[in-house]
Amino acid sequence: MMSVSGEFYQYLNGELVKFNHALSDPLSVADSWLVSNGMVRAFDRHAKRFSGSISDPISQQQMPEFLSQVKELTPLGGDWFPRIEYREAQLPGQRLFLRMREAPIRTKTCSLYTHQAQDTREQPFVKGPDLSLCQKFRRLANLRGADEAVLLSEEGYIADGALSAILWWEGDVLVGPDDSTNWLPSITRELVFELARQGGYQTATRAAKPNELEDLEVWSLSALQGIRGVTNWGDINLGQHRFLAPFRKRLELLSGSIKN
């Protein structure tokens, strides 16, 4: 039976081999995506984000075959949430890893908690180095009865979810945090903005504080969950989910075979 953390593989001498040793070195870069019955959304974009954060020339040379073998190793049945990893502390040519994990439970809605402490992420624009810290932020939100933590800038503006992106609707305009705050470049945010524009909706970015989202439809986005409508955020009264169902459906339609 597969462990909760999944089967762990190292790319070694041109192939993925099982790796059964504990690693104490931190993640340098990581990426993950949902695979449901062999269908995946935006695999190439996740791969591009991952490889674009790695400067090591040997790992870059290995990347095409590594990614090809990741696809081949992915089961076609069931729901999976594989994570690819780059660990710079390992020897050159031995830095690429795969963790093949079963997908956690997914939900259509979620609740948020505003993280009260300072955002201490060291590399907010790279997925990987701050993952354990962001998981800690989410666990703190869980202890307060929420599903996800929202990180704020020093000025109190919405930056990011701990492990998600935050968007909201202002009328018929889909809005997200602007570049005055530190948010991880999100593949799902990118896709949803594209879907909105293709559907004839305007999109915008701006700096906003949580209480400015009173009575608005708010979303939490991630590769695992897709789009989740936010039903509760402390004492903020949120709006109805007018756009959630059609956009969840349209996002789902972007999936294609992991074997392509």
Output the pLDDT for position 14: 96
Same domain (yes/no): 90, 177: no
Same domain (yes/no): 82, 179: no
Is residue 149 domain-resident?
Answer: yes
Is residue 1 domain-resident?
Answer: no
Same domain (yes/no): 38, 141: no
Domain count, the chain: 2
Is residue 42 domain-resident?
Answer: yes
Q: What CATH number has the domain bearing residue 229?
A: 3.20.10.10
Same domain (yes/no): 66, 171: no
Strand order across the 217-222 sheet: 158-161, 148-152, 109-114, 226-233, 217-222, 165-170, 173-176, 202-205
Q: What angle do CA 216, 125, 42 make, to 5 degrees?
A: 75
Same domain (yes/no): 31, 123: no
Q: List the structure tokens of 215.
A: 């009575």
Output the pLDDT for position 53: 98
Q: List the structure tokens of 136.
A: 């800690």
Same domain (yes/no): 47, 118: no
Radius of gyration of the chain (CA): 19
Domain boundary residue among 77, 100, 123? 100
Interatomic CA distance for residues 253 and 248, integer angstroms: 9
Strand order across the 7-12 sheet: 15-18, 7-12, 96-100, 83-86, 29-32
Same domain (yes/no): 121, 235: yes
Is residue 171 domain-resident?
Answer: yes
Q: Residue 245: left if φ>0, alpha if ψ -120 to 50, beta else—which one?
A: alpha
Closest CA to 219 of 230, 208, 233: 230
Output the pLDDT for position 22: 84
Is residue 122 domain-resident?
Answer: yes
Same domain (yes/no): 236, 178: yes
Same domain (yes/no): 142, 252: yes
Same domain (yes/no): 122, 193: yes
Q: Where are the alpha helices (DSSP H) in the chain?
A: 43-52, 57-73, 131-143, 187-198, 244-252
Same domain (yes/no): 187, 209: yes
Is residue 39 domain-resident?
Answer: yes
Strands 96-100 and 109-114: unpaired
The residues near 163 (Cβ < 8 Å, ≥ 6 apart) are 131, 134, 135, 138, 148, 222
Domain boundary residue among 82, 100, 118? 100
Q: Which amino acid is at 21?
A: H
Output the pLDDT for position 1: 33
pTM listed for this prediction: 0.94
Output the pLDDT for position 4: 44
Same domain (yes/no): 62, 162: no
Q: Domain range for residue 78?
A: 7-100
Q: What CATH number has the domain bearing residue 65?
A: 3.30.470.10
Could you read off the pLDDT tens digit of each residue along the chain, which spans 260 residues? Answer: 334 468 999 999 999 999 988 898 999 999 999 999 999 999 999 999 999 999 999 999 999 999 999 999 999 999 999 999 999 999 999 999 999 999 999 999 999 999 999 999 999 999 999 999 999 999 999 999 999 999 999 999 999 999 999 999 999 999 999 999 999 999 999 999 999 999 999 999 999 999 999 999 999 999 999 999 999 999 999 999 999 999 999 999 999 999 88
Output the pLDDT for position 5: 67
Interatomic CA distance for residues 146 and 233, integer angstroms: 8
Strands 109-114 and 83-86: unpaired
Is residue 24 domain-resident?
Answer: yes
Domain boundary residue among 100, 131, 166? 100
Decide if 28 contacts 86 (C-beta within 8 A): yes
The three-class DSSP label of residue 52 is helix
Q: List the structure tokens of 243.
A: 């756009």
CB neighbours of residue 214 within 10 Å: 12
Is residue 2 domain-resident?
Answer: no
